[in-house]
């Protein structure tokens, strides 16, 4: 096997254009050939697969695959394939992506605090009216998912003066954050938070977690006029019919949703036109190949030098 063949990478991407990624691999590793699926299927020279929603079964057919790299921080798109080979799955943990997600969270939280929705409507109607102005110190933000992204968002919100709580699967201690875990911990956090930010992975345990039961546990009478939901985790975490019902019966005042049960969000979804819903097209934190390709290549080189991969997914936990 010659050097070039030994360093082949398969890219399998559904839903967006992989050309920027291929270009970055060419710039940073001209000695590694990137093969775009459907080419490269069952190719014995492929050592790494770089994927976003790969067709099920294709990875199991690669006889010499050594690792799977996710093009996102989330890996639920990989686990939709139930014939995965037993090789490490490496996900994205990168400052660039983390900063983008915290920008989105801070943007949405501040827009709620400073009543952006109301002032935009007033401007449209040429209305000059100064509303109530709650302070960040009066507002508690509860973050579901205290991982890489949740912890960074928590630190930035704390710096802005918000009270911050968080919920994770295992018990945690995070400076400046009122940490919770378990069912009872979640109930407590929901009942004491004014804004809920969801940064959970989609797993068997978390699927559909944002449902009528959870929305019924949200705090009443918050300084913002009602509880607010911000979901930038995954659409599969939420039951959209339950969110709409909660918006309409007053359990929820507003929602910022970046992710949806079906993506792209179908044209007929009532979420598009709801006056208290802010929709973004799964754009909270984009994976930028300029930053992420060099990081993946570093991991490949480390592996080839006999070192373990970092940011490896726990298959049993599903994230
Ligand atoms: P991490 O794996 O670092 O953190 C996940 C957090 O969720 C951890 O705190 C974990 O708990 C907690 N968690 C997992 N399962 C449960 C559960 N059953 N009950 C309670 N807590 C749970 O992930 P990241 O922070 O890097 O990313 C989070 C998610 O954000 C990704 O999986 C992805 O879906 C989404 N994402 C969305 C993007 C977008 O553009 N919209 C961009 C990037 C990511 P513990 O600490 O105990 O392990
Ligand atoms: C991710 C995403 O998981 O962009 O990184 O959704």
Low-confidence ranges of the chain (pLDDT < 50): 1-5
pTM: 0.97
- pLDDT of amino acid 7: 76
Inter-CA distances, 106 with 110, 156, 243, 259, Å: 6, 7, 22, 17
How far does the centroid of ligand 2 lie from the alpha carbon of residue 221, in Å? Answer: 33
pLDDT at 6: 54
Task: Give the per-residue pLDDT at 241.
Answer: 98
Nearest CA to ligand 1 atom 38: 285
Does the CB atom of residue 247 touch ligand 2 within 6 A? no
Best mutation site among 200, 230, 313 for ligand 1, i.e. most ligand atoms within 8 A of its Cβ?
Answer: 200
- Ligand 2 atom with minimal separation from the 285 CA: 4
Q: Write the pLDDT tens digit of every residue in 166-175.
A: 999 999 999 9
CA-nearest residue for atom 15, ligand 1, is: 169
Query: For ligand 1, atom 44, which residue shows the shortest CA distance?
Result: 73
| Nearest Cα residue to atom 1 of ligand 1 | 147
With tokens 């050594």, the residue in question is 66
pLDDT of residue 4: 43
Ligand nearest to the CA of 149: 1
Separation in Å, CA 139 to CA 109, 145, 150, 228, 289: 10, 19, 17, 11, 36
Torsion of CA 199, 201, 205, 208, to 10 degrees: 60
Q: Is the CB of 89 under 6 A from ligand 2?
A: no
- Tell me how far apart the alpha carbons of residues 203 and 83 are, in angstroms, rounded to a whole number: 17
What is the set of active-site residues?
234, 282
């Amino acid at each position: 096997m010659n050097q070039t063949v030994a360093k082949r990478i398969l890219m399998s991407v559904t839903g967006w254009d992989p050309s920027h990624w291929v270009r970055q691999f060419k710039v940073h590793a001209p000695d590694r050939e990137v093969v775009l699926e459907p080419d490269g299927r069952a190719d014995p020279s492929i050592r790494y697969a770089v994927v976003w929603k790969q067709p099920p079964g294709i990875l199991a057919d690669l006889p010499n695959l050594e690792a799977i790299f996710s093009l996102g921080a989330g890996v639920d798109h990989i686990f939709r394939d139930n014939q995965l080979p037993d090789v490490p799955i490496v996900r994205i943990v990168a400052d660039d992506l983390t900063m983008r997600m915290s920008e989105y969270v801070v943007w949405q939280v501040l827009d709620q605090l400073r009543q952006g929705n109301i002032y935009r409507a007033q401007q449209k109607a040429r209305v000059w009216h100064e509303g109530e102005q709650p302070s960040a110190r009066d507002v508690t933000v509860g973050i579901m998912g205290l991982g890489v992204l949740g912890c960074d968002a928590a630190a930035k919100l704390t710096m802005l003066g918000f009270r911050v709580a968080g919920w994770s699967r295992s018990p945690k201690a995070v400076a400046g954050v009122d940490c919770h875990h378990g069912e009872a911990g979640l109930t407590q956090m929901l009942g004491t938070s004014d804004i809920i930010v969801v940064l959970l992975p989609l797993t068997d345990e978390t699927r559909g977690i944002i449902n009528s039961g959870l929305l019924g546990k949200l705090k009443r009478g918050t300084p913002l006029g009602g509880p607010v939901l911000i979901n930038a985790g995954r659409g599969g975490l939420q039951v959209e019919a339950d969110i709409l019902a909660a918006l309409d019966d007053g359990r929820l005042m507003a929602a910022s949703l970046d992710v949806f049960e079906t993506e792209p969000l179908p044209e007929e979804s009532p979420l598009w036109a709801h006056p208290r819903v802010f929709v973004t097209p799964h754009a909270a934190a984009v994976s930028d190949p300029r930053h992420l390709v060099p990081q993946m290549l570093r991991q490949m080189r480390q592996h080839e030098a006999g070192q373990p991969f970092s940011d490896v997914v726990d298959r049993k936990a599903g994230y």
